[in-house]
């Protein structure tokens, strides 16, 4: 749910022309960002040999940022700086800020990443930590926030949760001695629909107000692309004394969320989709400031803090190297870290974040609303519900979706559509049995690419 309501754009009669698409590209305030990324070439994506970027100057159309974002040009520069640090000063890299380097010392590198990520998720830097990977982080957070009792042990979740979420929730329920078949409550859409109404989610919260301990939902549902009304759901769940967590895998760097202002308890995300940090990149967590308090009112040696799985790297830097085994956590999300994070992983993340630091999630979102609406307009133009061999199962309201549109094809179409797109060097992904997910990323995709995609897509349907 958008932090400020968006009006759905409208388009003129000539919207399906190259001239009109070019005019949108020319007026795009983010157009210069495309040059900050390495767009795979048509030749390279068709090749089975390792190739250098730029082998062919003609780029493919890459609409798969919802699975893996493309590489920023800054990545090479940042990784080289990191390798040079390691090779030139060795262990001193942990404590030395080098001139002319885009990176902080290794001991502060996670904080550098957290400060930039916090602007993308609407949080204070202290409420964010760069750590782990998505599923590992969900486990770490659930270990702290899922506190079932004999009467309140259920977890409310999405009917079509990504397997990572499903497995994590199932394992924590079983870990506490409960039966997942009884304690997992799946919230699904009404029969024949794909969108889950906010009212239905609220009704489930009311229905399980006395036996649920926690609700964990995706900010954006990976299959349908629906963006849930995060502030309303969070507020209502809190009114029923439920802990609220969000998986932002498809929302991070995609939509404008306000985790602190919305009073979210915790959240986790990966950074390799719209965040462009690289495959399997280091992830991020959010822990609201109220859960990260460290209370020393009973003395320096008796800190009180929210229970969590603890690790050395979560220890306050002022005492971290005393090695006395007296755990004093960093206040905030940093106190939920475990191990010394990979400096190389953090470097790739910081490289991607350096691009985002040059704009804002509000500006990114503004273009996203326009380019996704343009995609929807062209897909539906000159067609009707009766004759169209596909259905857009992503909400039409821009306030309830991000960059992605999920296209549900009639049976038998997926194979030939996928082949046609592949032959045209258009990269998007499919979900069996019949869904194509299309995600124009605002920082590097163009309106002309949207037009070209729709022409190829419709040609495939007609063939």
Task: Give the pairing of strands 426-427 and 284-287.
Answer: unpaired
145 is in an annotated binding site: no
Q: 177's torsion region: left (phi>0), alpha (psi -120 to 50) or beta? A: left
Rg (C-alpha) for the chain, rounded Å, is 23
How far apart are the C-alpha atoms of 281 and 286, rounded to whole Å?
Answer: 17
Cα gap 255→16, rounded to integer Å: 26
The per-residue DSSP string of 78-103 comes to HHHHHHHHHHHHGGGGGT-PPTT-SS
357 is in an annotated binding site: no
Q: Is 250 annotated as a binding residue?
A: yes
63 is an annotated ligand-binding site residue: no
Instruction: Indicate the DSSP class of residue 293.
Output: -
Residue 340 annotated as binding?
yes
State how beta strands 71-72 and 37-38 pair: antiparallel
Asked whether 297 and 288 are in contact (CB, 8 A), the reply is no
Contact 333, 128 (CB under 8 A): yes
Q: Is 10 annotated as a binding residue?
A: no
Nearest CA to 267 among 235, 314, 234?
Answer: 234
Query: What number of other Cβ atoms are within 10 A of residue 247's Cβ?
Result: 30
Please list, residue by residue across 143-158, b when 16 or more beta carbons sit within 10 angstroms of its beta carbon and e when fewer do.
ebbbebeeebbbbbbb
Q: Is 272 annotated as a binding residue?
A: yes
The rounded Cα 366 to chain-centroid distance in angstroms is: 17
Instruction: Give binding residues for pyridoxal 5'-phosphate as ranges.
Output: 134-135, 162-165, 247, 250, 272, 312, 340
Instruction: Give binding residues as ranges.
Output: 134-135, 162-165, 247, 250, 272, 312, 340
């Amino acid at each position: 749910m958008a932090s400020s309501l968006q009006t759905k754009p409208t388009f003129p009669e000539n919207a399906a022309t190259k001239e009109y698409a070019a005019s949108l590209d020319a007026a795009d305030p983010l157009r210069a960002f495309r040059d900050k990324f390495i767009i795979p070439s048509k030749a390279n994506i068709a090749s089975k040999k390792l190739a250098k970027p730029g082998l062919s100057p003609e780029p493919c159309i890459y609409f798969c940022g919802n699975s893996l974002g493309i590489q920023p040009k800054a990545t090479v520069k940042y990784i080289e700086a990191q390798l040079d640090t390691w090779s030139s000063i060795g262990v001193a890299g942990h404590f030395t800020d080098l001139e002319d380097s885009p990176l902080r010392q290794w001991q502060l590198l996670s904080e550098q990443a957290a400060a930039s990520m916090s602007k993308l998720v609407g949080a204070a830097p202290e409420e964010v930590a760069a750590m782990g990977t998505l599923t590992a982080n969900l486990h770490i957070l659930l270990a702290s926030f899922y506190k079932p009792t004999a009467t309140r042990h259920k977890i409310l979740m999405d009917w079509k949760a990504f397997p990572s979420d499903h497995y994590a929730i199932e394992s924590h329920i079983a870990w506490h001695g409960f039966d997942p078949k009884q304690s997992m409550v799946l919230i699904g859409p009404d029969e024949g629909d794909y969108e889950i109404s906010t009212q239905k989610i609220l009704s489930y919260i009311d229905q399980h107000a006395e036996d649920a301990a926690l609700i964990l939902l995706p900010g954006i549902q990976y299959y349908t692309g629906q963006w849930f009304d995060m502030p309303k759901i969070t507020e209502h769940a809190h009114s029923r004394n439920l802990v609220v967590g969000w998986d932002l895998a498809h929302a991070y760097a995609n939509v404008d969320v306000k985790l602190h202002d919305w009073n979210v308890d915790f959240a986790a995300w990966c950074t390799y989709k719209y965040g462009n940090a690289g495959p399997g990149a280091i992830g991020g967590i959010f822990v609201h400031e109220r859960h990260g308090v460290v209370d020393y009112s009973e003395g320096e040696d008796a800190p009180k803090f929210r229970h969590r799985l603890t690790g050395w790297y979560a220890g306050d830097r002022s005492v971290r190297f005393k090695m006395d085994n007296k755990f004093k956590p960093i206040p905030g999300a940093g106190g939920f870290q475990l191990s010394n994070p990979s400096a190389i992983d953090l470097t790739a993340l910081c490289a991607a974040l350096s691009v985002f630091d040059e704009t804002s999630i509000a500006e990114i979102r503004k273009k996203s609303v326009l380019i996704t609406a343009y995609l929807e307009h062209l897909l539906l133009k000159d067609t009707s519900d009766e004759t169209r061999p596909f259905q857009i199962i992503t909400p039409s309201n821009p306030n309830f979706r991000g960059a992605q549109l999920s296209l549900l094809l009639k049976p038998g179409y997926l194979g030939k559509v996928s082949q046609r797109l592949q032959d045209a060097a258009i990269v998007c992904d499919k979900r069996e049995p019949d869904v194509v997910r299309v995600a124009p990323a605002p920082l590097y995709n163009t309106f002309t690419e949207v037009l070209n995609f729709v022409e190829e897509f419709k040609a495939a349907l007609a063939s």
